[in-house]
Amino acid sequence: MSFHALKGDERTHAPFARRQIITATTLLTLLASSTALCSSKAQAASSGVQTTTASSSLKTSTEHLESTEDENIVVLGSRVRQTTDHDAADLLKNTLGYSTYSAGGVSALPVMNGMADDRLATTIDGMRIPSACPNHMNPAMSYIDPDMISEVVAIPGITPVSVGGDSIGGTIEVKRRDPQFAAPGKILVTGRATGTYRSNGGASGASGSVTVANDMFSLRWSGSYAHASNYHTGGSNSRQVRSTSYLSFNQAITAGFRKDNHQFTVTVGQQDIPYEGFANQYMDMTNNRSTFVNGKYTGDFDWGMLEVRGSWQRVDHVMNMMNDKGGHTPTTGMPMNTDARNVSYSIKATIPLGRKHTLKVGNSFDYNGLNDWWPPLQGSMMMGPNTFHNINNGHRNVLGQFIEWDAQWTPTFSTQLGLRNDIVMMNTGTVSPYSWTGMMNMSDAMSAQAFNAAQRGRTDINFDVTATGKWQPLETFSIEGGYARKTRSPNIYERYAWGTGNMTTSMVNWFGDGNGYTGNLNLRPEIANTVSFTLDAHDASHRSWSVKIQPFYTYTHNYINVYRTGSLSNNLSKLTFANHNAQSYGINANASKRLWDTPSWGRGELIANINWVRGQDKVTHSGLYHQMPANGRISLHETWENWSGYAEVTLVKSKNTIDWIRNEPRTPGYALFGIGGSYRWRMLTLNASIDNLLDQKYYLPLGGLSIGDYKAGITDMLGALPGMGRSFNMSLSATF
């Protein structure tokens, strides 16, 4: 396994971190040719930072392959796996222990080692972005197109306190490309453009960027467009899967200034999603607009390095039922609106303490304000005559500070010790149901009265501790691992969603399971204790073979799960959030083997990985919800001159360990075959691939229920969400 970091990046990373990074180079575009690594090999060997840089068009595996450097960019040609997905969460698909909750076409929820969504600290350019929706239709990674991304860092489990707090499952850091500057006395004009097509669902997309810069100032515009209609299943009885269409636009302007050892960057951008179907939800997104400003300063001083970030974001979010689920007219559907404001800052200082020790200290603040209201539906006795206020002036503020010490005791042994404190302050205003009178709204009216009479302010004082080490007794073998105590406070909906009626509870659900959820003012923060380690063996040259094994175990006090409070139709339930104890454990592994490397036949590599996780609620003795069954991938990669290609099989075991409290569906096992290739010449790159080559029919283990098909009358019963059938994909990109 090869470990790399960005060249010139003086940050000290944890030796245990096992970071899997996917990076877009400045030369390649979405769906472009190859995976790249910006590396500093001397630092990489000691840092343990696993970095894969790739055009955002590519799904890449994170196992080691030999690379060739070209102007500080390491191109891993045999890693190419083209995709036409426009969801940034898909960039990590081949990362060990990683999966996604299926949601909208550009809004999948990330999962690492069985921990999902808010249990992960996900940031975009340092900004923590919570979902502004009772269905979590707009998670953090949905706000950026893959083509705009420079780097995605995935740290499961034991996360350094300097990069993540208020989370228990890990950290995902998404970073845009830094500004480009010209050589002194020169003017730089550069850009790129990409077009993509996917046959299944008729998906198309386009993206591009243009940069103009001198040696001190840089200005870049980036934009993207993505569209898809409903996709079709595989098998002889292929059919359309309702509520899987989407339309998305992104654009941003990045300005940069640098002088000596100082650099300032500011990005202003906007995203518009006019519509996005959600196949496993009762609702769809009928508009989502996000406007943001994000600034960053970095300075290199005699005493060390300083990084200061600040950001602001406004989100206007609208839900209703698209035509797939009955449409939204003045007398049908159900309008739901959410407005959110996010403001944050962070300050980090990295201070060398001699040649072997480094100290990091930092402070941060995150403000999340939320209003969630549901306008009355004309002529409806249930949804009217007044506005339903689900969250009224809710806010969640997190003030955090940390200290972290890295030490390189000997050339073969290093440690990291970190301590973090997060103060989480939450409150919300009084609420109101559709009506204070009438039988249809009696349950919600009584719940609103009790909620308004209660003391709603909550303050949690949380502490995190990490202690890790790495020992490399041989050039070909290392052991790294440690312990972490991580804490997460409830999100706004887990604490403050107050409705108890059948319909109103069903509208609060980001799990895709069709159930209805009610919050709990008395929830306590989750406290997760994690131990894990990694065994890494490889040949001395990092070229012939490698094996990596990562077992882990987590015991979580006050895990936020649910208990049943009532019944809905179709064997579904009303659920209330509650603290239980839980445990999760598993093992991830990968291996690679060079098969041939000759001028005549090019270079061939066999790569395999496997992931297994099991979660258990210690109170209900059920499985934890949405744990991915054992799965793996075997792929053969070939690179020859300007051509590269792959053939692979993805294997997923049947899902039989389920959360019976939520009526989670079982899914059968399946195997999917795929092939693809890429050819690059001069400034152009052509990619082509076929996913699900044999057109298998299968069901998504983390897809939840196919509610869109059920509401449209396509299926008679609620069942698991089916996956996509065969798809022919193609992209063409150009740079200048």
SS3 content of the chain, % helix, strand, coil (to 5): 10, 55, 40
Instruction: Tell me how crowded residue 409 is: count the other CB atoms within 10 A of its CB.
Output: 12
- What does the DSSP 8-state code read for residue 111? E
- What does the DSSP 8-state code read for residue 718? -
Reported as a single tens digit per residue, the pLDDT across 354-383 is: 999 999 999 999 999 999 999 998 888 889
The domain locations on the chain are 20-176, 188-735
Q: For the whole model, what pTM was predicted? A: 0.88
What pLDDT band is residue 10 in, cutting at 50, 70 and 90?
very low
Burial class (CB in 10 A: 0-12, 13-18, 19+), 331: exposed
- Mean local confidence (pLDDT), 198-207: 96
Reported as a single tens digit per residue, the pLDDT across 430-482 is: 999 999 998 888 999 999 999 999 999 999 999 999 999 999 999 999 999 99
Contact 147, 174 (CB under 8 A): no
- What sign has the CA pseudo-torsion 424, 429, 433, 434? negative
Q: How many residues belong to the chain?
A: 736
What share of the chain has pLDDT > 90, as a percent? Answer: 81
Q: For residue 726, which phi and psi values (nearest 5 degrees)? A: -55, 140
Nearest to 34, CA basis, from 17, 3, 50, 57: 57
Residue 274 has pLDDT above 50, yes or no: yes
For 310, half-sphere exposure in the C-beta direction (CA atoms, 13 angstrom radius) is 3
What does the alpha-carbon distance between residue 284 and residue 245 come to, in Å, rounded to a whole number? 10
- Please give the pLDDT value at position 330: 59
Residue 72 has pLDDT above 80, yes or no: no
Domain spanning 20-176: which superfamily? TonB-dependent receptor, plug domain (2.170.130.10)
> What is the β-pairing status of strands 357-374 and 336-353?
antiparallel
- Mean local confidence (pLDDT), 18-29: 36
State whether CATH 2.40.170.20 applies to domain 188-735.
Answer: yes
Contact 665, 715 (CB under 8 A): no
Q: What is the overall mean pLDDT for the chain?
A: 88
Residue 570 has pLDDT above 80, yes or no: yes
Contact 590, 600 (CB under 8 A): no
